[in-house]
Structure 1
Amino acid sequence: MQNEAQRRFKFSIVLSTATISLQEQLIKDIYQVSKLMNYPVHPVLAKGRSHFLCLDRLHTHYNNNPPSWVKDLEGLNGDRSELVESFPELDEKWEKVNVKKCKHRNCAFYEMCDFIHLRNNIAQGNSVIVTNHDQLIANEKLKMQDRRPLFPVDTEIIVIDEAHNLEEKARSSLTESWKKSKLIYLLKVLDRFLRRSPRYNETRKQKDKIETELNKFFQELLNQCVSQQSSHLKAGLETNRYEINPEAITNLIALKKELNDYNISAQLLDTTSEELEASTTAIEEFLTFIEILKQNEHHIIWIEQVGKLNSHNITINSVPKNVNEEIANYFFEEDKPNTILTSATMSTEGNDNYDRYDYLVNSTGLDFLKYSQLELANPLKSPFDYDAHSLIYIPDHLPKPIHQNYETFREKAIQEILLLIQLTEGRTMILFTSKEDMNFVYKKLVDEQLPWTIFVQQDGSSQNKTKTAFQEDEHSILLSSGIYWEGIDIPGQSLSNLIVFKLPFPVPDPILNYKMSLFDSDGFDKVMVPEMITKLRQGVGRLIRKESDKGIIAILDSRLSKQANNQYRVPVLNSLPIRNVTEDFEEVQIFTKRLFQTQFIK
C-alpha cells in the first residue's frame, strides 16, 4: 500500500490558513496522519521571513560589536518563537533585527541563516507545505511575474483554510501605500547625492518646497481623519480607514511636476550607487501612484491610520477595484492547481448552495469559473450537541447601540454583563468590536471590585500568554477584541459564558462603500450583513470547542430581538449553529442551573 501511495502522490500540496497557531496544529496533525497511514510525508511549516532572525541586521544594529550573549545564538534555530524564550532582549528589538530584505548569497551569514534553510527546504518537491494566506498570494504573484516561486513547482493541490479571509488578504497584497516619512527619507537620500551637483542651490530649494507641500498634504489628510474619527467614536465605532477629500488629491497632483524635475536631476548625476538608483526608482513609483490618484476610476483611494493618529502614522492608499478578478487570476485559471476552499463560516442561509455561497463566490472571483469547474459542497453539520449544551440570550430591553443613545446603551449593557458574570461566577469572555468600548467596560468592572480576575487584551502583548492565563484561572473574565473573534481555542469550563457586546457590523469605509455601491439600494443587505454574519459566527464558535463544552452566549444587541423586527434577524439566527434562543433572563438562569448542576446566583 505504501509503494502504491508513493506512486500516486508524487506531487506537493500547499495548505494555507490564517494564524501561526493553526499552522502549527496542522503540522502536528499531518505527522499524526502520516504515522497512522504508515506513509512518510515531507511537511514544512513555511513561516514568513519576519519570523526569523537576520544575523546581518543584528550585527549592523550593534555596529558589528554585539554583546556577548549574541555568540550563544550560534547553532540555534533562528525562529523568533524559540529564541525569545532564552533571549528576551531580542523581543523588544525584533523589528530591527528580523529578516526584511534578504541579501541571499551576498550575505556573510548566508550558510548559517535559518530563513535560507527554510527556503531551500520549501523548494523540495513531493512535500506538504503549511503556510499563511500572505505567503500563498505572494507565491502566486511571483509566478505571474515569471519569477522563481516560493513553493515547489510540482504543487498540484492548494487548500485555502479560513477562506472567508481570502478577499481581505488579496486586497492587502494589492494595496499600494505611501507614508510621509518614507517620502521625506527618499528626498533626503537624493539631496545627499545632489550636494555634488553644481546646481545644488537650485535643487535644495526644490527639495524644501516639495517637503513643505508634502507636510501640508499629510496635515490635511490628518485633519480629515480626525474629523471622521470623531463622528465614528460618538457612535461607538472604530476604524482605521477614512475617506479622502478630492481637493487634497488635486493639491498632490499639482506637486507632480516639481517632484519629477527633482528626481530627474538626481538621475542625471554621474554617480553609480545602488542606494541612489533605488531611491529614484521609488520616486518614480510614487509619481505613477499620483497618476493613479488622478485617474482613479479603476481604483479605490483612502487614508489609513497605522498606530496613534498623527501625520507620521497615516498613509494614502490605492487598490484595484477588481480584487475578485485578481484572485481568480491567482488561483482559478485553467492552468492553476486544483484549489479547495474551506471555512466553517463561508456559507450563509440559502435555498441552495449557490445562495449559501453567494457572497464568497462573488467576492473571490469564483463566479468567473465555468459551471463544470466549480463544485459547491453541502455545508457540514457540526458534531457538537448545541441544543443540549448551549443557549443564546438576546436582551430585548437594552437600548439599541446606535449614535443617539450610545452612552445609555453602554451603561445598561454594564448592568446586563454583571448579571451574566455572576450567573457563571466568572468563566466569561466578552468580545468587542471597539477597543474604546472594551476599555470602558474594563474600568467599570474593575470599579465593581468583583472577586474574579479580569484580563484585558493589551496592544502588542502575546495573545497566547493572555489566553493561557485566562484558561488556567477558571473563574476569570477576559475582555477582548480583534484577534480573539477567530482562531482562538479555549476548551473547558474557563469559557462557559460568551458575551458579544454588540453585533459586529463592519464600520463603513471607502472599500465597503465601494462594494455596497455595486448593489444600489441593496448594498447593506448584500455586503454589511454577510460581513457581520461571518464575524459573528466566528465569535460564537469560540464557546463550544469540544464535545463536553457547554455554556451560554449573550448578544447584547436588541437590534436582533423579535421586537426590533429587523429583516436580518432570521438570516443571522439561522446561520448560527445554536437553535436555543431566548430573550428572557429567567430562562437563562434555569438553563445555566441545569447545565452546570449548581445554583450560581445566591
Structure 2
Amino acid sequence: MENRYVVIDLETTGHSPINDDKIIEAGLVVIENNQIVETKSTFFNPNKSIPPFISNLTGIYDKDVKYAPFFYEKADDIIEVFENSYLIAHNVPFDLGFLNAELEKNGRQPLNNPIIDTVELARILFPKAPSYKLSQLAEYLHINHDEPHRALSDAIVTAKLFLRLKEKLESLPYETIQALLNLEEKFKSDLYALLLRRQEDLAFSTNENELIESFQGLAFRKTELSNGQTVTMEQSFGDYLDGIYEENGTLHEYKVNYEKRSGQREMSEAIYDAFHSKEHALIEAETGTGKSLAYLLPAIYEAIKSNQRIIISTYTTQLQSQLMEEEIPLIKLLVKFPFKAAILKGRNHYISLEKFVHELNTGHNDNYDIVLCKAMILVWLTETETGDIDEINLPKSGYLFYKKVSTDAEGIIDPYSPWFSKSYYQKAKKRAQQANVIITNHALLCTDIFNDYQFLPSYKKVIIDEAHHFEDTASHHYGLKIDYTNIQYVLNQIGHTEEMKSLGKILSNYSLVSEELPLKEWNSVFDSVKYEIEDLFRLLFQYVIQQRKNSKAVSDIGRIQYRFDETKEDPEKWDIIKEMVTRLTFYFRDLIHVLALMEQYLSHKELLDKYDKDDLNGISEHLQQFIDSFEKLFLTDDRVPQVRWIEVDTKGTNNAVYLYSEPTDISTLLKEEFFDKKESAVLTSATLTMSNSFSFIKKRLGIPVNRLTTQKINSPFSYQQQVQLMVPNDFPDIKYGNMDNYIYATCESILSLAEITDGRMLILFTSYDMLKRSYKLLKETMDVDKYMLIGQGITSGSRTRLKKNFQTFDQAILLGTSSFWEGVDIPGEDLSCLMIVRLPFQPPDHPVYEAKSNYMKEQGQNAFMEYSLPNAVIRFKQGFGRLIRSSSDRGIVFVCDARIMKSRYGKYFLNSIPEVPTTFDTTKKLMEKAKEWF
C-alpha cells in the first residue's frame, strides 16, 4: 500500500452533491513505485441536463453522455481500483465528497482510504508558487496540461504533480522533516508514512546539503554576504551609453528584436545631467519609453563614478522585486562590470528565525491555518536567501501568525546573540550598506524621511519612480489611521491575566510567583479600557449619524464620512467626546504602568526570559501607539495643518468607526525635510503633467524651483494608427438625476461594443456603487453563455487573479474601479476596448478633498483648477494608458462622459494624452465606425 497511489479527478454538473449535482466524467490514474502504470476514463449518464456553463468549461455536452453508463453500473469497479492504495486528488474534499455521496446513494460503503490532497501538499512543498489552481501549478512546474477541465487530463497532471511533490519531499533536510512530522497530525493529508520514510532514509545517509545550515533544530539556506570588488569608472557617460544603446551596443546583443527608442537614451541623459548639476528633476516618460532601464543605467554609473550609493524608490514592493529579478540581471549583462544592487524593505517584511523557532516549540494548540503556515515557512526557509515574506504565498489568515514571527516582533536584538548573525533583516541592511544601488519603496522612504533618516543607509541622490503616488504616500505616513475593530482585535489578543492569550501565556510561565504580581489591578483596568472604548466608539458613531442628518457628512465607498474640526463642532457634545478620550488615554497609561511593574518584579527575581520580555514590551508599544493616536486626533495640535475625519460603516455594528488624519498640505514638510536636504531627487512617472505642464506636481510636492529641471519623453508608439477615441453625444446627463438612465446607456454600449470586439473589454468606473449596478444589469441582459463577466469586488480574487481570469477566457468583460486604473498590463489582443464610464474626479464632499480645497481657497488659490482637475487628469491618463502596452496593440478608448468634449475644462484631458483620432457622435454612429475600424 505504501507504494500504490490512485489519483482521481471528476467532472460534475455542479458544485454540490447535496443539490443533486451528478458526476459526468471520471479519470483515474494508478501510480506504483513512482511510475504511472494505468489510466482509466469514463463518462457517466447523470440522468439530467448538463448546465451550459459546465459544457463551456469542460467541453462535455448532453450528447456525449447520452449513452454512457449510469454510476451504479461502474461503482464496484471503482471501489476495486482503490483497494490497498492512497486516494489522491487536487482538492480531495470535492472529489471524495462526490464519489462517496454516489457510492452511498447506490448502497455501497464510502471509501475511507488514506488521502493525499495535492493542493495542501503543494502549498507546503512549493510555498513560492503564485497559485494552487491545477492549471497554474502545472504551468509553474512546466508540466504539460493538454485538456484542462477534462477528468483524465486533470488526473494525469495531478499524478505528475504528486510525483514532483514526492521528489521535493525527498530533498528536504532532516530538521525540516522532523518539524513537519511534529505538525503532521493537523494536516488534512495522511503524510505520516511518507515523512517517516524520508526521515529514516536521512538517518542512514551521510550526504549533507552544503547549502543548508541548521541551528536549534531549524534548517535554513545559507546566505553569505559577499564583499565584492571595487570598480572604478574610467568611461565617459556618453561612451557608456553608446556601448549599451547604439546599433552595436549590448542591448541589441541581449534583447532579441530590440527596437532602439530615442526617448530611453534621452531619459538616461536627463537623469545624469540632474545628478551632475545637483538639481532635482521631474521627468514624464510616456508608456513604452522603457523607463526602468533608462533610470537604472545612469544610477549605476553615477553610484560607481562618485562612489556614493543611490536610492531607487518604487510605489509597491512587487515593483521592487520586479526591478531586482528582471531588470538588474539584464543590466549586469549589459554593462559587463560588477556592481551591487540590494533590496531593502521594512522590518515587517523579514522573518525572524529566533521568533519562528520559539513559536514552533510553543504552539501546541494551533489551528489548521497556523499549522499550514508553519509548514510552508519550514520548507521556504530551505530555499530563501532573503527571508522576505513577499516571496511566499501565505493563506490570508496566515499573515496574523506571520506578524508574531516577523523581525518587527523581535524588539531590539542583541548584537551578541547567536541569532544576530543569522538575521535576514540585519543581512538585508548590510547588503544595502555595501550596495551601489538600493531599491526600496515609497512607504519605507517616507518612514525614513519622517523619522530623521533612521531606516535607510545615508544617501544624497534618489530616483522616485511612479512619482504621482509620492504625495499620497507621504501624507499617509505622516498621518494616521485607527479603528474600533483593530483596537478590539489587539486587546482581545492581549486578554486578561487568567486567559491563555498573549499576557496570560506569558504569566503562566511564572505561576509560582503570580500572587506577587498585580494581576487584579490589570484585569480591573483592562475591563475599564474595554468599556470606555465601546462607549467612545458608540458615541462617535451616533455623533456622525446625527451630523449626517444635518447634511454635514457624506456617504462614499459604503461608509459615511465626516470631517471634524474642533472649532466648528457642537461644544457640549464635543467636550464629552474629548473627556472620554482623555479618560481612555489615562487607562491605557495605567495598563502600561502595570506591565512595567510586572517586568520589574520578574527581572528583579531573575525569572523573566528574553522572549517574554520582548512580548511584554510589544504589548506596551501597542498601547502607547493607541495613546499617541488618540491624542493626535482629539487632544493636540500638529505643527502641520491636518484634516481629521471619521468614517462609519452603517452596515456594520454601531461601533464600526474608523478615524483618520492627514496633512492638508505636505509640500512645506517635503521641501524642508527632503528636497532641501538632498543633492538630487529625480521623480519620474508616465503621468506627471497636465496639458504638458509640471506646475501641479511641483506645487503639491514643494520642490524648490530654483534647482529644478523638467523633461517630457514622448511615447514611441504610433497612437494615430493604434487608437481611436470615441465619445457619445447622446448619453443622459447625470447632472439632472439621470443615474439609472446613464447606467442603462453605459450597459447598452458595453454590449454593443462587446459584439464588435468579441469581449476583450476593460470598463473603468469611478464609483463602486455604479460598478455593482452595471454588473447586475449586464448579468440580466447579456448572453451569459457567450461572455465571461468579471466584476472587481463581486467576482472573488485579487486584482492579479481577476486579470488572469480575464486573459484566460476568449470573450471576457472586466469591470474595475480604483486599483484597475493603473498598474494593470493586458497587452496584445487580450484587450481591444477600454471604456471610461466617468471622468475620474474625486467626490467634492470627500473629507480630504474638501479640507484641501478649503485650505487652498484660504491661500487665494483656485481649488478646482489647481487641485481637483489636475488629479482627475492624471488619473485619466493612467486609465488611458491601460490600452496600448506595445507597438502592435490596437484598440478603442470609449469615454461615456461627454464633459470631455463639452465642458470648458475638457480640453485639459484631451491635451494631456497623445494626439489620437477623436470622434464625438451618436452611439449608433460610433458603433458603426468601431466595426469598420476593427
Q: TM-score range by the shorter chain?
A: 0.7 to 0.9
> Which of 220, 229, 243 is the equivalent residue of 2:563?
243
Change (3 A) 1:431 1:110: farther
For residues 432 and 513 of structure 1, the distance between their equivalents in structure 2, rounded to whole angstroms, comes to 22
Q: CA deviation at 1:528?
A: 1.3
Change (3 A) 1:101 1:443: same
Q: Does 1:72 align with 2:72?
A: no
Change (3 A) 1:516 1:341: same
| Residues 535-580 of structure 1: per-residue CA shift (max 9 Å, x gap) | 0100000001111111100111122233xxx111111111121431
> Which of 592, 597, 612 is the equivalent residue of 1:271?
597
Q: Would you say the 8 A contact 2:450–2:478 is kept in 1?
A: no
For residues 308 and 527 of structure 2, the distance between their equivalents in structure 1, rounded to whole angstroms, comes to 60
**Length, aligned pairs only:** 570
Change (3 A) 1:114 1:265: closer
Q: Does 1:45 align with 2:335?
A: no
Q: Map 1:89-128; keep pairs closer than 5 Å.
A: 90-98=395-403, 99=406, 101-103=408-410, 105=413, 112-125=422-435, 127-128=436-437
Q: Map 1:59-458; keep pairs closer than 5 Å.
A: 60=359, 63-65=362-364, 66=371, 69=375, 71-77=378-384, 78-84=387-393, 90-98=395-403, 99=406, 101-103=408-410, 105=413, 112-125=422-435, 127-144=436-453, 148-150=454-456, 152-153=457-458, 155-181=459-485, 196=518, 207=529, 210-211=532-533, 213-220=535-542, 223=545, 232=555, 241-244=561-564, 246-247=569-570, 249-259=574-584, 261-262=586-587, 265=590, 271-273=597-599, 274-275=616-617, 277-278=620-621, 281-282=624-625, 284-286=627-629, 288-289=631-632, 292=635, 298-304=641-647, 309-333=652-676, 335-349=677-691, 356-366=693-703, 369=704, 371=706, 373-377=707-711, 379-402=712-735, 404-447=737-780, 448-450=782-784, 451-458=786-793
| Residues 337-390 of structure 1: per-residue CA shift (max 9 Å, x gap) | 41001112111116xxxxx11211111111xx251x11122x222111111111
One-letter code aligned to 1:243: R
Higher relative contact order (CA 8 A, sep 6+): 1
Specify the SS of the correspondent of 1:542: coil
Q: CA deviation at 1:81?
A: 4.9
Shifted more, 134-143 versus 249-258: the winner is: 249-258
> Which of 312, 323, 342 is the equivalent residue of 1:26?
323
Q: CA deviation at 1:212?
A: 5.3
Partner of 1:599: none
Specify the SS of the correspondent of 2:848: helix
Please give the root-mean-square deviation of Cα atoms over the aligned residues, in Å. 3.8
Partner of 2:889: 549
One-letter code aligned to 1:69: A
Specify the SS of the correspondent of 1:399: coil
> Which of 572, 577, 588 is the equivalent residue of 2:914?
577
Q: Would you say the 8 A contact 2:696–2:870 is kept in 1?
A: yes
For residues 932 and 232 of structure 2, the distance between their equivalents in structure 1, rounded to whole angstroms, comes to 51
| Residues 108-149 of structure 1: per-residue CA shift (max 9 Å, x gap) | 966555444333322324x222222111111222335xxx33
One-letter code aligned to 2:834: L
| Residues 34-71 of structure 1: per-residue CA shift (max 9 Å, x gap) | 31121322222334455445553696499434568354
Q: Would you say the 8 A contact 1:217–1:251 is kept in 2?
A: no
One-letter code aligned to 1:17: T
Q: Would you say the 8 A contact 2:559–2:649 is kept in 1?
A: no
For residues 61 and 347 of structure 1, the distance between their equivalents in structure 2, rounded to whole angstroms, comes to 53
Specify the SS of the correspondent of 1:44: strand
Specify the SS of the correspondent of 1:315: strand
One-letter code aligned to 1:438: L
For residues 21 and 217 of structure 1, the distance between their equivalents in structure 2, rounded to whole angstroms, comes to 40
Q: Would you say the 8 A contact 1:325–1:365 is kept in 2?
A: yes
Q: CA deviation at 1:242?
A: 3.3
Partner of 1:561: 901
For residues 261 and 156 of structure 1, the distance between their equivalents in structure 2, rounded to whole angstroms, comes to 43
Unaligned 5+ runs, structure 2:
1-230, 236-300, 365-370, 498-502, 504-515, 600-615
> Which of 497, 507, 510 is the equivalent residue of 2:833?
497
Change (3 A) 1:295 1:406: same
TM-score (norm 2): 0.55
For residues 264 and 47 of structure 1, the distance between their equivalents in structure 2, rounded to whole angstroms, comes to 32
Shifted more, 132-141 versus 115-124: the winner is: 115-124
The sequence identity of aligned pairs, in percent, is 23
Specify the SS of the correspondent of 2:461: strand
One-letter code aligned to 2:575: T
Q: CA deviation at 1:29?
A: 2.1
Q: CA deviation at 1:485?
A: 0.6
Q: Would you say the 8 A contact 2:760–2:812 is kept in 1?
A: yes
Partner of 1:4: 234
One-letter code aligned to 1:163: A
For residues 793 and 352 of structure 2, the distance between their equivalents in structure 1, rounded to whole angstroms, comes to 27
TM-score (norm 1): 0.83
Unaligned 5+ runs, structure 1:
351-355, 597-602
Shifted more, 297-306 versus 384-393: the winner is: 297-306
- Larger radius of gyration between Structure 1 and Structure 2: 2
Shifted more, 242-251 versus 529-538: the winner is: 242-251
| Residues 303-355 of structure 1: per-residue CA shift (max 9 Å, x gap) | 1469975455432222333411122233201x3241001112111116xxxxx
